[in-house]
A and B are shown apart, each in its own frame.
Chain A
Amino acid sequence: MSAILFFFMLQSDLGATTYDKYCAQCHGEQGDGQGIATEFVMPRPRNFTTGVFKFRSTQSGQLPLESDLEKVVREGIRGTSMPSFAQLGESEIKAVVAHIQGYYQAVIDRDKEEGFYPPKVAEMGNPPKVTDALITHGREVYLQSGCGDCHGYEGRADGPSSLTLKDDYDESILPANLNRGWEFRAGHELTDIFRAFTTGLSGTPMASFADAIPADDRWALASYVQSLSVGEEPTASAQVSASIVDQLPESMDDPLWDSAPEAYFPLTGQMMWAPVNHQPGVRSVTVKALHDQSSVALLVSWDDPSFSVAGAEAPGGADEEDDWGFETEEEDDFGDFFDEEPAAQVDADQFAIQFPSGFPAPNERPYIVMGDGSNPVNLWRWVQDGSLASQQAPAEAQSGHANLWTEYKGNVSLSSELAKGRNQISALSDGTPLKGSVHYLNGRYHLMVTRTLLTDSEDEVQLEVGKFLPILFWAWDGHRNEKEAMGNLSAWFFLRLEQPVDRSVYVKTAGAAFLTAILLLWAIRAARDSSRQEPSEVVESAT
């Protein structure tokens, strides 16, 4: 008996020390989610004392199993600050989960009294085989069940209710962007997605659909959501290659763009200078490029669920601490926030492409955050000014879903700026006009910009064919009040304008092959000559 007691004491001791070493900094010494790092993580750390947990295998409204919590500790939560603690070892993980359960013992006791404890596991069934027909059916379920109200017509978290959602802490919370499977909190496997619909994510507007949507339809829905993206983040490309075309495309709809390779670059919040952008709004860009030896065209795309013009009232109150979790569906009791908070104003969405100023040096670059006095950068900046024209939803979306469709289009001008650091930016009056067009479609911006390779201003970047030209991308989500240096940026990568095909390559290749063939023929001839002179030797050795 005393041995068992001793074991439990050890266990709780191990749980407490492990918790203090690894968990308390975010989740708080009292388990209330108020640690020293709380305001620097994304999203807000879990408050254990309420007993409300997003990721469970249990029925809606019930507490999680120990194994659910152990899984979170072991694997972490993708797309958030919660890392994997797999290196702790299983006994520590079990002990720390037992310790965490102590913080919501009152909730366990209440559920015991009411007959909800131990919690019941939600019915899962077996996943079906994913087919194109199932995915198509899943899309119908998606649109008919109202998923798009929060997650948007194409799943980019841009639905009409998206920006007004709040969680149990009364904090703004964004629905999951279903085009970024690697950020799905609960995982990108078919069963993970199905489980999220089935159990709901407690404490968030993402309710359980176990009763509202039949299991077969939920599997179809899961296969549609899974089909929208991949489960692992693409690796960062090293460069964006611009191939040569006879004439640059006039618009971003030109089929010439289809064959251009797409580069992927991750973005992070700017953290080199205060204020640090702890809740980055734009997390990657994709880039294509083409050139015709006199001008270059770049086509950049990035996700932003909020189309923001400076000065507009924020739908849900502009809030830098947005969560962007795997959660959806507004619940009725979240509807009264307008009375509580004064409407905040949003800033303009912005995008900038950063190059070294002048002729880029091969081995030295300007400082990533907008250069410095000795090594300035040239920024090509677009600022959302509200001039883009709203577009009507096409016929396919008209039948009942026109409210989910958000589209804006138009030609824009970009400013060419010289920056000698984040606080020393000046527009270049002698700059070359940067022609551009922007298309915002259902949660995704597309920006096309063209410029001549060389310009008359020595402050502007001079783009030489065949060189590796440093390039870096900035994006600002105006809804999060991102502006100035508090934006999102990539690392330095390369833009490479492909060289015209050099004939000498083919001459050298053909020449080498031809010479080798001659050499072989000459060897055959030499062999024949020698066999005529000494026929006996060959005949002897051949027999």
Chain B
Amino acid sequence: MIRNPLFQAFLLMVGAYIFYTYGIAVLSKPIPSSLVTQYMGITLGVVFLYMASSNDVWSEFKRPIYETLLGLTPTHRTVRLVALIAIPLFVGYRTYMGVKPSTQAPPPFRTVHPANPESISFNGKTISMITQANPLRADAAQYESHVAVGKRVYYQHCFYCHGDTWAGDGHFARGFVPKPAKFTGDETLAILTESYVFWRIAKGGPGLPREATPWNSAMPAWEGRLSEDEIWSVIMYLYDAIGKEPRSQSSVGEGH
């Protein structure tokens, strides 16, 4: 049996399926099931190509199928009956799953870091998103006192959503979709410039461009509730607290 090409092809297909669904997931990241179906189709094509490469292999390959179709022995007849019922049922099931109306809520399409405007107007003052660095950093001697102001701002206005340890898990976070931004890690503050962060704090959810679903965000627009210095201070405090450097303004120009 093990020498039969049909059985070998069967084993190969099972092995390929296991590799595509679990093996790849272990080696790198899991792939979507539609891609698995596509890979399986290609694998089947290659198997057929190999089986058809010589007449001997081909006749050995198709012999068990042929014998089953003919129903040569009682075993063959049983297999034939089972296949005659199971295969149409399987095809029917797959068709049903494909054509039945979907009850799955549409996935949210949302740009997490939307492109920033070139400049914003903050209480009537123009702040450039390209060139404006954190003005409070100019005087290094004042660093500690700005961070202290920023800490006060954070623990009076921000931490109940963004969390005591800046991980986006404050006690209000459970009710929001999308979740409040997590500042630790390499996906938010670490890759953003301070002027970008200023824009996000000043204009909040309502100030997001359309592709970032401004209607869903619970982030308040802090312009009017916090002063310009308070916002620059809280930005300084955040970078200090998470121990990361902001992306420099100049590298934005070069990067794009």
| Minimal beta-carbon separation of B148 from chain A (angstroms) | 10
Q: How distant is the Cα of A272 from the Cα of B216 in the complex, in angstroms? A: 12
Is the pair A42, B171 in contact by a Cβ cutoff of 8 Å?
A: yes
Q: Which B93-141 residues sit within 8 Å CB-CB of chain A?
A: 94-96, 99-101, 103-106, 109
**Partner-binding segment picked from A55-63, A117-125, A209-217, A365-373:** A365-373
Q: How distant is the Cα of A381 from the Cα of B47 in the complex, in angstroms? A: 65
Is the pair B92, A513 in contact by a Cβ cutoff of 8 Å?
A: yes
- Does B144 sit within 8 A of A, measured CB to CB? no
Q: How distant is the Cα of A504 from the Cα of B163 in the complex, in angstroms? A: 51
Across-interface contacts of B177 in A (CB, < 8 A): 236, 491-493
B194-225: CB near A (< 8 Å → 1, else 0) gives 00000000001110001001111111100001
Across-interface contacts of B225 in A (CB, < 8 A): 274
Q: How distant is the Cα of A258 from the Cα of B159 in the complex, in angstroms? A: 41
Across-interface contacts of A278 in B (CB, < 8 A): 160
Q: Which A494-518 residues sit within 8 Å CB-CB of chain B?
A: 494, 496, 498-499, 502, 504-505, 508-514, 516-517
CB-nearest residue of chain A relative to B220? A272
| Minimal beta-carbon separation of B65 from chain A (angstroms) | 8
CB-nearest residue of chain B relative to A525? B69
Q: How distant is the Cα of A239 from the Cα of B175 in the complex, in angstroms? A: 15
Is the pair A491, B216 in contact by a Cβ cutoff of 8 Å?
A: yes
- Does A9 sit within 8 A of B, measured CB to CB? no
| A266 and B175 in contact, given A83-B169, A520-B88, A528-B70 (Cβ under 8 angstroms) | yes
Across-interface contacts of A538 in B (CB, < 8 A): 66-67, 70, 72
- Does A399 sit within 8 A of B, measured CB to CB? no
Is the pair B176, A520 in contact by a Cβ cutoff of 8 Å?
A: no
CB-nearest residue of chain A relative to B176? A491
Across-interface contacts of A524 in B (CB, < 8 A): 69-71, 80
Across-interface contacts of A527 in B (CB, < 8 A): 66, 69-70
Across-interface contacts of B164 in A (CB, < 8 A): 22, 25, 81, 83, 85
The total of chain A residues at the interface (CB under 8 A) is 72
Selected from B69, B70, B91, B220, the residue in CB contact (under 8 A) with A512 is B91
Q: How distant is the Cα of A366 from the Cα of B156 in the complex, in angstroms? A: 28
B145-181: CB near A (< 8 Å → 1, else 0) gives 0000001100110011101110001111011110000
Is the pair B160, A271 in contact by a Cβ cutoff of 8 Å?
A: yes
Is the pair A40, B92 in contact by a Cβ cutoff of 8 Å?
A: no
- Does B87 sit within 8 A of A, measured CB to CB? yes
| A368 and B84 in contact, given A491-B177, A541-B63 (Cβ under 8 angstroms) | no
- Does A523 sit within 8 A of B, measured CB to CB? yes
CB-nearest residue of chain B relative to A366? B215
Across-interface contacts of B59 in A (CB, < 8 A): 541
Residue among A35, A268, A364, A526 facing the most chain B CB atoms (10 A cut-off): A268
Across-interface contacts of A517 in B (CB, < 8 A): 84, 87-88
CB-nearest residue of chain B relative to A21? B241
Selected from B88, B156, B175, the residue in CB contact (under 8 A) with A37 is B156
| A271 and B103 in contact, given A366-B215, A520-B84 (Cβ under 8 angstroms) | no
CB-nearest residue of chain B relative to A42? B171
Across-interface contacts of B163 in A (CB, < 8 A): 83
Selected from A40, A363, A366, A526, the residue in CB contact (under 8 A) with B160 is A40
Q: How distant is the Cα of A523 from the Cα of B97 in the complex, in angstroms? A: 27
- Does B79 sit within 8 A of A, measured CB to CB? no
Is the pair A87, B92 in contact by a Cβ cutoff of 8 Å?
A: no
- Does A157 sit within 8 A of B, measured CB to CB? no
| A513 and B70 in contact, given A37-B159, A83-B165, A272-B218 (Cβ under 8 angstroms) | no
Across-interface contacts of A511 in B (CB, < 8 A): 95
Across-interface contacts of B165 in A (CB, < 8 A): 22, 83, 85, 87
| Minimal beta-carbon separation of A379 from chain B (angstroms) | 16
- Does A241 sit within 8 A of B, measured CB to CB? yes
| A273 and B88 in contact, given A239-B105, A524-B80, A542-B67 (Cβ under 8 angstroms) | no
- Does A238 sit within 8 A of B, measured CB to CB? yes
Is the pair A520, B159 in contact by a Cβ cutoff of 8 Å?
A: no
Across-interface contacts of A364 in B (CB, < 8 A): 210, 215
Given A517-B88, A520-B87, 8 more A-B residue pairs with CB atoms under 8 Å apart are A22-B165, A25-B164, A81-B164, A85-B164, A368-B215, A375-B215, A492-B216, A505-B100
A-B contact pairs, 16 of them (CB 8 A): A25-B159, A36-B155, A83-B163, A83-B171, A85-B164, A268-B218, A271-B161, A365-B213, A368-B216, A468-B106, A490-B175, A502-B101, A504-B99, A505-B99, A508-B99, A523-B69
